[in-house]
Amino acid sequence: MSSKERPTLGGTRIKTRKRNIAAPLDPAAFADAVVQIYLDNAGDLELVAKSIESSDLNFSRYGDTLFEVVFIGGRTQPGTVKPDEGDRHPYSVIDCEPKREGILPSVIYVQKILRRRPFLIKNLENVMQRFLQSLELFEDNERKKLAIFTALAFSQKLSGLPPETVLQPLLKDNLVGKGLVLSFITDFFKEYLVDNSLDDLISVLKRGKVEDDLLIFFPPAKRSADCFSEHFTKEGLLSLVEYNAKKMFEVKLKEMKSALTAQITEETDISEVIETVKHSVKDAKLPDVEIVRMLWDVMMDAVQWSGKNQQQNANAALRQVKTWAKLLNTFCTSGKIELELMYKVQIQCYEDAKLMKLFPEIVRSLYEQDVLAEDTILHWFRKGTNPKGRQIFVKSLEPFVNWLEEAEEEE
């Protein structure tokens, strides 16, 4: 080669590694292909599932688009629920009748897809979250269909679908405020309870992290026990009404117990404690029987026990009874409530080894402090119905009962 000749690249091919070439996203073409499968099989979901299984479509890349086609019959505009340009089919969830018979086949169809391609569960979550966060963009009957699909998905234990990621998106303030969430969740509850128990439903709600406060589904102005009861009674969900009443009762009782424990531990003036209890009872509408049971628990929980020294434990328990007898007396307003208190004492003395031998002394102390009437003690002795340790306690209480009967005869 002459020194004046210059090298040339003519005819030389520069190779590009394939991994550096990114194919452009084309969800529209994917959506059209899936829609065509629906149309070719006239909406027969059994045949559609087989055709999708044998296709070479890129599901890992277009999983969200797949479920958009399942739910609304075609692709949606990016980030919305509005239909985008492209083909559509009339066999989607939104196009079904708002009944389980029409929607259940779609749930089973999705289940088949997920069993073959479990990685698509995340795409199903994405699409359901987006749709549920946009309930206001759907018509009433379309929201009902989404509710039925969601209920059936959990009822059929749709592979790996977590309640938390589906139910939490509902709790947007604007959706709740408009009553859309209450309408949706009511349809969801009614459909789910067709084939499942209330315990099953509570389990789903617990996993969805919404079980603790079902009033959260109600618009702020209607978040009350009365509104809850009225709404779900009208919808025929009496078991849910009863469950919520019990749940709210337990929550209020727990809050009240916590406040009283602090007051008793700090030895707050008894008159102040009584006023606190009265206010809580009025506010929470708690029955006196439950109040007295709770008061006894709080009193005994606050005792400073001294380990294995039985006499010191006995002295501490009796001192506690004497100190707070006025509190018990304020709420033992009838023989029935006094009897329930005796049963409460009986059960605790039976279950707590420290108190087993103290039953007659506690009963005598409660009598001397005017908490228990003579008639109540005699009724328990002769006709008590709770069997826990009854034979032992009747025998141990017999000397005191004999004394009562003798005093009564003398009078």
Query: Number of helices (H) and strands (E), helices first, in the chain?
Result: 19, 0
> Among 306, 260, 266, which residue's Cα sits nearest to residue 280?
260
The whole-number pLDDT of residue 132 equals 93
Are residues 337 and 291 both part of a single domain? yes
Backbone phi, psi, residue 281, to 5°? -60, -45
Number of residues that this document lists for the chain: 411
In this structure, is the dihedral angle defined by the CA atoms of residues 39, 68, 132 and 112, taken in order, positive or negative? positive
With cut-offs at 50, 70 and 90, classify the pLDDT of residue 77: confident
Are residues 185 and 298 both part of a single domain? no
Structural Rg of the chain based on CA atoms: 34
| Number of independent structural domains in the chain | 2
With cut-offs at 50, 70 and 90, classify the pLDDT of residue 277: confident
With cut-offs at 50, 70 and 90, classify the pLDDT of residue 7: low
Are residues 218 and 263 both part of a single domain? no
Cα–Cα distance, 302 to 317 (Å, whole number): 10
Spatial contact of 73 and 93, defined as CB atoms under 8 Å apart = no
The whole-number pLDDT of residue 25 equals 66
- Could you give the C-alpha distances from 114 to 49, 124, 154, in angstroms and in order? 11, 9, 14
Are residues 233 and 267 both part of a single domain? no
Non-local CB neighbours of 396 within 8 Å, separated by 6+ positions: 357, 359, 360
Cα–Cα distance, 208 to 202 (Å, whole number): 9
In a domain, 16, yes or no: no
The whole-number pLDDT of residue 411 equals 58
pLDDT digits (tens, 9 = 90+) for 101-142: 999 999 999 999 999 899 999 999 999 999 999 999 999 999
Are residues 151 and 192 both part of a single domain? yes
Cα–Cα distance, 393 to 36 (Å, whole number): 80
HSE value, Cβ hemisphere, 13 Å, CA-based, for 52: 29
In a domain, 43, yes or no: yes
Lowest mean pLDDT among 81-85, 368-372, 376-380: 81-85
In a domain, 90, yes or no: yes
Q: Is the pLDDT of residue 33 over 80?
A: yes
The whole-number pLDDT of residue 19 equals 47
Give the domain-ending residue among 180, 206, 237: 237
Are residues 269 and 218 both part of a single domain? no
Average pLDDT over residues 43-69: 91
The whole-number pLDDT of residue 107 equals 94
Cα–Cα distance, 265 to 298 (Å, whole number): 9
Identity of the residue numbered 238: L
Are residues 173 and 319 both part of a single domain? no
In a domain, 15, yes or no: no
Spatial contact of 186 and 228, defined as CB atoms under 8 Å apart = no
The residue segments making up the domain with residue 34 are 25-237
- Name the token pair of 293: 């049971």
Cα–Cα distance, 31 to 16 (Å, whole number): 31
In this structure, is the dihedral angle defined by the CA atoms of residues 25, 28, 32 and 35, taken in order, positive or negative? positive
Cα–Cα distance, 90 to 73 (Å, whole number): 6
Spatial contact of 222 and 181, defined as CB atoms under 8 Å apart = no
Greatest mean pLDDT range, 307-311, 314-318, 404-408: 314-318
Q: Identify the three-state secondary structure at position 385.
A: coil
Supply the DSSP string of 50-73, one letter for each residue: HHHHHS---TTTSHHHHHHHHHHS
With cut-offs at 50, 70 and 90, classify the pLDDT of residue 8: low
Give the domain-ending residue among 237, 266, 290: 237
Cα–Cα distance, 163 to 207 (Å, whole number): 6
Identity of the residue numbered 308: K
Identity of the residue numbered 220: P
Average pLDDT over residues 270-276: 89
Name which residue leads in pLDDT, 149 or 291.
Answer: 149
The whole-number pLDDT of residue 23 equals 44
Q: Is the pLDDT of residue 304 over 90?
A: no
Are residues 176 and 273 both part of a single domain? no
